[in-house]
Amino acid sequence: MRRIAIINQKGGVGKTTTSVNLSAALARLGHRVCLFDLDPQAHATTHLGVTPAGDWPSMYDVLVNSRPLCEVRRNVGENLWLAGSDINLAAAEVELAGVIGREVILRDALEQDGEEYDFLFMDCGPSLGVLTLNALAAAQEVLIPLQPHFLALHGFGKLLETTALVAKRINPKLQVTGVLLCMYESTTKLAQEVAANLSAYLERSRGMAVPWARAALFQTRIRRNVKLAEAPSFGRSIFDYAAQCPGAADYLALAREVLRGPTAMRAFHELESAA
């Protein structure tokens, strides 16, 4: 099972859109997928048509009340399961403040869970608090969505530093798989410059003892598309809402790229650079 945390401490960069639609794309391709919503805003939960009313156990109960994951997740589509969030999760940061080993509660819960999936995605909120640390401690891979503008790059270094600290102190297997550009407009010079700068930065990291040493910029770009913005209000993934739109095509392409794995991604970029 590939455990992938989707993180960025900046809001509005496409984390939840990516978490939901990448999960749905892989499920449509026949893979068993589970999505953990670790954001107290519960946007991924709502996006998949589940009302976060607090009448069903959530990730709060897993982290704070030691509830088994099997009592929290629910089937929300063919090959797709959700362990949802609700507003109670906002209190977890405070309630876990004095708990020893609070960063590895989710990892322990996964080790006790007998259910196997092909992919486990963790949608994290726009912070680097204890909820995101739990995701990083439980994950094998990190996927970072970014908007292609320079302000989005300012927090990128801090995010990488956090993955390095977690890899050093809690989870030595943690690796940054790649960076995904969302809301991309190929006709703008700025988007092209940001993509080039990111590629160059990742290339300079090759051979270094850091979790992003083998990361790549995803070939797939998630283009700006109004259907992607509309789908959450209907409680549907982009494939159930507008399967023929560019947003659906982009996330299906991303799913196929993720399936090829980090090694194939790096090989593609090495060939591209050589050309």
CA-based nearest residue to 212, from 115, 142, 119, 274: 142
Q: So what's the pLDDT on residue 114?
A: 85
Whether residue 246 has pLDDT greater than 80: yes
Q: So what's the pLDDT on residue 262?
A: 61
Whether residue 135 has pLDDT greater than 50: yes
Reported confidence tier of residue 86, pLDDT bands at 50, 70, 90: very high
The number of beta carbons lying within 10 Å of the beta carbon of residue 19 is 28
Tokens of 260: 């090829």
Q: So what's the pLDDT on residue 263?
A: 54
Whether residue 268 has pLDDT greater than 60: no
59-71 pLDDT, tens digit each = 999 999 999 999 9
How much of the chain, in percent, has pLDDT values that exceed 90? 78
| Exposure class string for 115-146: b at 16+ Cβ within 10 A, else e | eebbbbbbbbbbbbebbbbbbbbbbebbbbbb
Distance CA 187, CA 50 (A): 37
Whether residue 267 has pLDDT greater than 60: no
Residues 119, 66 contacting (CB under 8 angstroms): no
* Distance from the Cα of residue 5 to its chain's centroid: 4
Whether residue 271 has pLDDT greater than 50: no
Whether residue 269 has pLDDT greater than 50: no
Reported confidence tier of residue 122, pLDDT bands at 50, 70, 90: very high
Whether residue 275 has pLDDT greater than 60: no
Which residues neighbour 198 within 8 Å (Cβ) at sequence distance 6 or greater? 146, 153, 179, 181, 217
Mean per-residue pLDDT for 51-57? 86
Edge-to-edge order in the sheet of strand 73-77: 73-77, 80-83, 33-38, 119-124, 2-6, 141-146, 175-184, 216-223
The number of beta carbons lying within 10 Å of the beta carbon of residue 184 is 22
Q: So what's the pLDDT on residue 93?
A: 87
Whether residue 98 has pLDDT greater than 90: no
Number of domains in the chain: 1
Q: So what's the pLDDT on residue 10?
A: 85
Give the predicted TM-score (pTM) of the model.
Answer: 0.92
* Distance from the Cα of residue 123 to its chain's centroid: 5
CA-based nearest residue to 85, from 130, 46, 116: 46
Tokens of 242: 């507008």
Distance CA 182, CA 14 (A): 6
Q: So what's the pLDDT on residue 213?
A: 96
Mean per-residue pLDDT for 125-140? 93
Domain with 245 in it? 2-274
Query: pLDDT higher for 126 or 80?
Result: 80
Q: What is the CATH number of the domain that holds 209?
A: 3.40.50.300
CA-based nearest residue to 182, from 228, 157, 148: 148
